[in-house]
Amino acid sequence: MELIRAENVRKWFPLRGGFLERRPRYVHAVDDITFAIQNQEIFGLAGESGCGKTTASKLLVRLVEPTSGEIYLDGTDISHLEGRELREFRKNVQMVFQDPYESLNPRFNIYDTIAEPLIVQRIGSPEEQEEMVYKALETVELRPAEDFVFRFPHELSGGQRQRVAVARALVIEPTFIVADEPVSMLDVSIRAGVMNLMLELREKFGLTFVFVTHDLAVSRYMCDHIAIMYLGKVVEIAATEELVRNPHHPYTKALLSAVPVPDPTEKRKRIDIIGGVSAAVDPPPGCRFASRCPYAIAKCKREDPVLKDVDKDHLAACYLA
């Protein structure tokens, strides 16, 4: 069953020009993206830094307002919610941010940090809130909870801080959580623990996740479906194993060719991408990847390809797919 749908969503940020610059310019951070997320799945948004994946994730939780397009949660258009309806929406969606060192208020102890959403949403009495906070800490395996509630963020490790961030997201019992690069700032030794925790929470509470990452190895481990983004566009969407084994877009192929292979005797042909990332400021017509693509044809530089079916449960925006 479909839980989230984004239809033709754009987010353009205006640039301030000089005094003599009459024509406004825009950064096309997210440019006409469409995808659907099924209930209780983990949906990955992947791509290089600057591809628009974080902006797209913030649009899904209304931390950023779309320039155009519609976003639906369980059939309700959330793009124009206000007042009480927006407050109710925020009970159902939460976000875990990338940097556990920046996302927690250093002046709040762990109890106050996790209790804040309950206070803002006016959920429960003080006694009930205390019970919910302790339960959330136990759920994310910060045990016993009594050992953590009166600590401050600087007294915790990076992995413990990120678990606190997850507990804060869980405490109001949302149905949908966006995790923006939740393990990229953590030591490799503790990444698996946080990722496994999220997988367990999905199974235990029936949660739906959007998992944002630049690491395709991580997204393969975590996600049911993956959308690959490049310069504000979704260029390919597929079930995870289908995408990994049968990529159709040249950008996806290049990303996968750069993923390390565990077997040192196995050889993989590296696909080199030409040049640097183009600017997202008022990009010219055509495929955003055309200037770097080793297979580009003339049509790629004239017309913007649209996502099309290339296989079962597999979409790609490429004329050669």
Give pLDDT tens digits for 124-177: 999 999 999 999 999 999 999 999 999 999 999 989 999 999 999 999 999 999
pLDDT beyond 80 at 7 = yes
pLDDT at 275 over 80: no
At residue 19 the predicted structure's pLDDT band, cuts being 50, 70 and 90, is low
Percentage of the chain exceeding pLDDT 90 = 75
Please state, in angstroms and rounded to a whole number, the distance separating the CA atoms of residues 64 and 321.
Answer: 33
Asked whether 215 and 255 are in contact (CB, 8 A), the reply is no
**In this predicted structure, what is the pLDDT of residue 276?**
72
- d(C-alpha 292, C-alpha 78), whole Å: 36
Strand partners, 38: 2
Q: Between vectors from CA 86 to CA 66 and to CA 110, what angle results, nearest 5°?
A: 100
Least confident of 141-155, 176-190, 213-227: 176-190
Does residue 23 surpass a pLDDT of 90? Answer: no
What is the mean pLDDT of the segment spanning 173-188? 92
As a whole number of angstroms, the distance between CA 193 and CA 292 comes to 37
Tell me the C-alpha distance between 252 and 271, whole Å.
10
Domains contained in the chain, CATH given: 2-316 (3.40.50.300)
The band of 265, judged by pLDDT with boundaries at 50, 70 and 90, is low
Its pTM stands at 0.92
Tell me what pLDDT residue 271 has: 76
Higher pLDDT, 6 or 23: 6
Residue 166: per-residue pLDDT:
95
Mean pLDDT for 71-95 is: 91
Return the SS3 of 79.
Answer: coil
Mean pLDDT of the chain: 91
Provide the pLDDT confidence category of residue 274 given band limits of 50, 70 and 90.
confident
Mean pLDDT of 259-271: 69
Provide the total of helices (H) and of strands (E) in the chain, helices listed first.
9, 12
**Which pLDDT belongs to residue 115?**
96
User: Looking at residue 263, what is its pLDDT?
Assistant: 63
Name the residue among 44, 38, 48 with its Cα closest to residue 57: 44
Does pLDDT of 22 surpass 90? no
